[in-house]
Each structure stands twice: as structure tokens, then as C-alpha cells.
Structure 1
Amino acid sequence: MNEDVKLNVAVPEHQRDVYDEEAEQMGFASRSAYVRAMVNSGRRDFGLDPQGPGGEATTLEDVIEQRIVDIIDDADGASRDAVVQEITGDIEQTITDCLSRLDDTGKIDYDIQQDGLVVRTEGD
């Protein structure tokens, strides 16, 4: 059985606040879970195995399951509909925010001929 160990990393207070806000927006159960996801994402960008040899892979399903447990625990019980609404509301807002950022940076655009969103290419 793997035991968790703590890594202490110093960041400025304002950065911690940014991590907390982003973790909440993305539906992470904790700052630690969010920071682990960021580290693993960065490792992937460097072409590394984010979990290392023998590591445990965290899936979106794992994140959602933990979020479900946290929602129910925080509310001291919750209906199935309340849990679904809480999670889908978080996801819907995150998707809306991502679409806005992608549009603002010019990575996507609305194409009337396609009647939907398209990825912008160089020269568009």
C-alpha cells in the first residue's frame, strides 16, 4: 500500500489564493488535488510519465468520485439530483469560462457556414 508523503513548497500568499480560486472553479476537492493535477499536466507537457514508474493514474472519474463524496459530506447528506446539479453546474461554468478564454485568445471562433464553433487556423 502506498502512503502519501507531504512535499512542502513555498509560494507567495497571493499565488496560494489564485490556486484556491482555480481549484474551486475547476471542481477540485482541495488545493492539494489541484496542485497535483497541475504538476502532472506539466510533466505530460515535458513528455514525462506524470505518475512516474509504478504510480497511480488519476482519471477524471477519480476526480468526480472524490467531488461527489465531498459534496455529500459537506452537506451532511444530499439527494442524487442535488449532487448531479452541483457537479454539472461546476462543469458547465468551467466549460463556459474555457470557451470565453479560447474565443478571447482567438483560438476558436464561430463560423456561420459551419453553424458552430471552429478552431481558428493561421491566416484566419
Structure 2
Amino acid sequence: MSDERRSVKTYVPAEQKDRWQAHADELGMSQSEFVRTMVQAGRRGFSLPNETNTVETASGDETPGSHDLETQVKRALTAGPCSWDELVDALRGDFEDQLEETLDALQDRNRVRYNGRQGGYALVDE
């Protein structure tokens, strides 16, 4: 691994950024260090969706489905102990991210469309 560093930008909701900053502060990390650590921790346990669609645990065992609650709790705890509220916040954030990704994928496949007149997302008639 090279010591050369490069910038990566991402945009997240303000509330999520605030949670990340608070967690980074608790761990005595910069926000960059925190995000880098969390990305690396997350990458250790996940295969790409188009591969086997499984989650690999640290022991090498495979757990079906990348969205099961046990896996999400373990991932949230990789940085250390969390209170109940911190776990709920982490899982809520994961759920919101998963929901957004799912809706984006469904819209890309023209299966769901956002319709302001109907008050939100709706299935596209086949």
C-alpha cells in the first residue's frame, strides 16, 4: 500500500455527518480517519452484490443475506461499544441508506417512480 494520499468526496445528510463527527470525537479520531476506518471495517465483511450476495464474517463463515440484523449490529460495534441509542441510530442510518439504494435501483429499472402528485413513490404499471 502506497503512502500517497488522495481525496475522496461524498455527500451525506447533515444528520448523518453530525452522528459520524460525534462518534469520531468519542473515539478521538478525525472525521477523515473515522470514515476511512469504517469503510475498511465494512469492506472486510462484505462481498459485492453481483458476486455471491453473502456476508462473510471474520471467521470466514458465510451468513446468507447482506442485510440481516445480526450482521448490521456486529458492523456497528466494530469501532467499540455502543449504547442502545447509538445502535438504533446506526441501524436507522443503515436502513435509510439501504432504502435509498433500493429505491434508486428500482427507479433505474423503471419499476418505481417518484410522483409528487400521488404523494411519493409508486409502482410503475407493467
TM category, shorter: 0.3 to 0.5
Quick check: which one's helix share is greater? 1
Q: Which has the higher strand share?
A: 2
In our comparison, the structure showing a higher alpha carbon Rg is: 1
Query: Structure with the greater relative contact order (CA < 8 A, sep ≥ 6): 1 or 2?
Result: 1
